[in-house]
């Protein structure tokens, strides 16, 4: 059930984003293409993002300055590709889009994965916490002894897995330090 709900939410988000332009007509008319490239690079977007900007701005007759955009992007991506940002992006569960220059990619990817490990461990803890809460609510409502035993056994299993997940989270956070 949860998986179906998550997939439905993801599909709605994807549809909403597909209908969104990368820039508003007003932004297109006042754009500083160096700054826009810098922002996109700083946010870890690929330099091909300019194609989306070109499409978004075509309706108002604006053509992005590709040279200035790329110069800005080249500067912005240097700020994105730091180890500290790799950790932050990973902890937030954001994917890496292979944008870092070769001399920065190794450290960024390493720290991004360390942050992603913490993110995934935290997600497992949160999922198991929710499962335990749900079983406890069912247990409070259940009157039948046989069903209560089954629920207590299930709760014990979830709590055991939760202890392991919390241990894994602590290890991932320790590795991150």
Binning pLDDT at 50, 70 and 90, where does residue 73 land?
Answer: very high
Q: Name residue, tokens 């001399």.
A: 103
pLDDT in tens, 19-32: 457 899 999 999 99
pLDDT at 6: 47
pLDDT in tens, 38-48: 999 999 999 99
pLDDT at 20: 59
pTM of the model: 0.77
Answer for the pair 174, 167: CB distance below 8 angstroms, yes or no.
no
User: What value does the mean pLDDT of the chain take?
Assistant: 90
pLDDT in tens, 112-127: 999 999 999 999 999 9
Q: How far apart, in Å, are the Cα atoms of 98 and each of 14, 64, 86, 102, 116?
A: 21, 23, 12, 10, 15
Sign of CA dihedral 39, 43, 49, 52: negative
Residue 145: Cβ within 10 Å count = 8
pLDDT at 13: 41
Please enumerate in sequence order all residues whose Cβ is within 8 A of that of 68, keeping only pairs 6 or more positions apart, or say none.
32, 33, 34, 37
What is the domain partition of the chain in residue ranges?
Answer: 37-80, 82-177
- 93 DSSP assignment: T
pLDDT in tens, 122-166: 999 999 999 999 999 999 999 999 999 999 999 999 999 999 999
Q: Is the pLDDT of residue 11 over 70?
A: no
Q: Which two tokens stand for residue 138?
A: 């069912």
Residue 61: Cβ within 10 Å count = 9
- 59 DSSP assignment: T
Binning pLDDT at 50, 70 and 90, where does residue 8 land?
Answer: very low
Q: Is the pLDDT of residue 3 over 70?
A: no
pLDDT at 136: 96
Q: How far apart are CA 35 and CA 135, in angstroms?
A: 52
């Amino acid at each position: 059930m949860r998986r179906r709900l998550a997939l439905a939410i993801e599909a709605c988000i994807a549809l909403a984003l597909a209908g969104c332009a990368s820039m508003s007509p007003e932004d297109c008319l006042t754009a500083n293409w160096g700054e826009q490239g810098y922002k996109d690079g700083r946010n870890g977007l690929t330099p091909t993002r300019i194609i989306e900007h070109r499409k978004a701005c075509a309706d108002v007759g604006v053509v992005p300055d590709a040279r200035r955009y790329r110069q800005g992007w080249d500067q912005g991506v240097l700020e994105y590709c730091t180890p500290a940002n790799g950790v932050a992006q990973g902890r937030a569960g954001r994917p890496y889009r292979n944008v870092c220059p070769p001399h920065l990619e190794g450290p960024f990817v390493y720290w991004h994965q360390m942050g992603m490990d913490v993110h995934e461990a935290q997600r497992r803890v949160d999922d198991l916490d929710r499962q335990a809460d749900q079983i406890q609510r069912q247990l409070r409502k259940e009157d039948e002894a046989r069903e209560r035993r089954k629920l207590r056994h299930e709760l014990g299993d979830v709590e055991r897995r939760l202890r392991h997940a919390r241990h894994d989270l602590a290890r991932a956070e320790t590795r991150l330090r």
